[in-house]
Structure 1
Amino acid sequence: MAAHSERPEDVAQERRRTPAEVRASVVGVLAGLVRWVGLIFALVLVVHVVLTVGSANPDNSITVFFADAAEPLALAFRNLFTPENAELRVLVNYGLAALFWLIVSSVVSRLIRRLA
């Protein structure tokens, strides 16, 4: 029986990818990253809404962390609607901001894939 041996040049040749394959891989990673960032932003906003509507202790470090993190992510939605009830205000405005991030990250991810 002859042993099958590969030369290092053959192995290196097999592992080389075409520029199109590399580009497709980079585009896939970038599009995935955009989707994950949008999902994380939306998740932070939703946790803030849940903590607020659930009447979490406003002095608790977890509640403070999510409130501080959600503030810049809410963008112009922060004060879009101004109902009297503060919990309803957070639910509507920050909930819309979460939907915004999910939709925008999805659209941008698809655009990245199509343009590349």
Structure 2
Amino acid sequence: MSRRYGGSPAGTVISVIADIAALILILWIALYLFDANTANNSVDWVHNAADWLSGWSHNLFTIHSADWRTVVNYGLPALVYLFIGHAVATGVNRS
């Protein structure tokens, strides 16, 4: 794993956490767009985790289309986690 991420162990942990957070958010977008069964425990867990991770960005923009609202409300935090997480990891790796 350290070859993929490189750098210090702390930087690697930060990058992995950012990647997992973004993956959960992107997974929820895909599950929503493909009309996954929300009664399924796995789908419900992903939805709850994505809600928690994206709580700060919900309804940031008023979009009438439910599909686009989901993409923006969950996609924006995924990008922020990736950008900030990897920027912090790069800073940790340089020090």
TM-score, structure 2 as length reference: 0.86
Residues 87-116 of structure 1, C-alpha deviations (whole Å, 9 max, x = no match): 2111111011101110011110011122x2
Alignment of 1:32-47 (within 5 A): 32-47=12-27
Distance 2:52 2:76 in 1: 14
Say which SS state the counterpart of residue 66 (structure 1) adopts.
helix
Name the amino acid aligned to 2:77. A
- Is the 1:45–1:95 Cα contact (8 Å) retained in structure 2? yes
The answer to whether the aligner puts 1:78 opposite 2:58 as a matched pair is: yes
Q: Which runs of 5+ in 1 are unaligned?
A: 1-26
| Other-structure match for 1:111 | 91
* Residue 37 of structure 1: how far off its partner (Å): 0.2
Superposed CA RMSD in Å reads 1.3
- Is the 1:77–1:93 Cα contact (8 Å) retained in structure 2? yes
Runs of 4+ in 1 over 4 A off after TM superposition: none
Tell me how many residue pairs correspond in the alignment. 89
Q: Which has the higher contact order (CA 8 A, sep 6+)?
A: 2
Q: Which runs of 5+ in 2 are unaligned?
A: 1-6
The answer to whether the aligner puts 1:99 opposite 2:79 as a matched pair is: yes
Name the amino acid aligned to 1:31. G
* Residue 77 of structure 1: how far off its partner (Å): 1.6
| Other-structure match for 1:58 | 38
Distance 1:33 1:98 in 2: 17
| Other-structure match for 2:47 | 67
